[in-house]
Structure 1
Amino acid sequence: MHKTFLLLGAINIFFCIALGAFGAHGLKNILSNDMLSIFHTGLQYHIYHAQGLLFIGLLLLHYAKSRLIELSGWLMLLGIVLFSLTLYVMSLTELRILGMITPFGGASFMIAWIVLAVALWKAK
């Protein structure tokens, strides 16, 4: 499973870099400052948790049988989709109703880190 999270982390970091460039160069003159700020918030949390996925992959090299560490990684990926992706779409479409989904992504991120802490606390 470690390879899956390493791959997911690498792919997500690629998307972060591409989206960052798109935001800085392609959206700078198109979006309002408010929408650009929303886009960048999604990007900021995306990069943190893409790195988190890499971290999960590395941890699974050492704790290969930890279901909690795996769960933490899946929760991070879910958070990327529910938090960052909704912010990207909201900033591009100005559909502010998508903001109702975003807190579920934030909760997923927080739960992921707590689950990881518990997993490491319990690890042998």
Structure 2
Amino acid sequence: MKKFIITGALHGLIAVALGAFGAHALKETLDAYSQGIWETAVQYQMFHATGLLVIGLLMSTKLLGNVKQLNIAGICFNAGIIFFSGSLYVLAVSGIKVLGAITPIGGVLFLAGWLCIMIAAWKYAR
């Protein structure tokens, strides 16, 4: 539980920093298309950082405290941020289009994480 609260906060911090970096330092460097890619990466990182915080909080309750699906969801969100947002950040600054092939792996990990949260709630919540 603690690890997901910490990683969620860390990903949130990084998302804010990279959002500001993209808006200011990269403003003159990136074209409109690459700026959109960067913004998408920041948004998805922040969404899933918040999801990690929620997972950590759920795991700290009696309601869903020891449910393996939540642990799997947290792992999927952490990996999803790296694959999805990470590949988009690199794509935005490098223009290497083949990196776009990595992004869907992160998307699938995000979907799996949300599915695991649904399963945990369905099976174990009162």
TM range (shorter): over 0.9
Q: Which 4+ residue blocks in structure 1 deviate beyond 4 angstroms? A: none
Cα deviation, 1:2-30, whole Å, max 9, x if unaligned, reads 11110001111110110011011011111
What displacement does 1:65 show?
Answer: 1.2
Paired residues, what number? 123
Counterpart residue identity of residue 85, structure 2: S
The alignment status of 1:31 with 2:30, answered yes or no, reads yes
List alignment gaps of at least 5 residues for structure 2: none
Identity of aligned residues (%): 39
Letter in 1 for 2:30: L
Normalising by structure 1, we get a TM-score of 0.96
Counterparts of 2:59 and 2:91, CA distance in 1: 34
Residues 9-88 of structure 1 correspond to what in structure 2 (within 5 A)? 9-62=8-61, 63-88=64-89
> Counterpart of 1:31 in 2: which secondary structure?
coil
Amino acid at match of 1:27: L
Using the alignment, how far apart are the partners of 1:27 and 1:83 within structure 2?
A: 20
Letter matched to residue 100 of structure 2: G
CA distance in 2, matches of 1:20, 1:100: 23
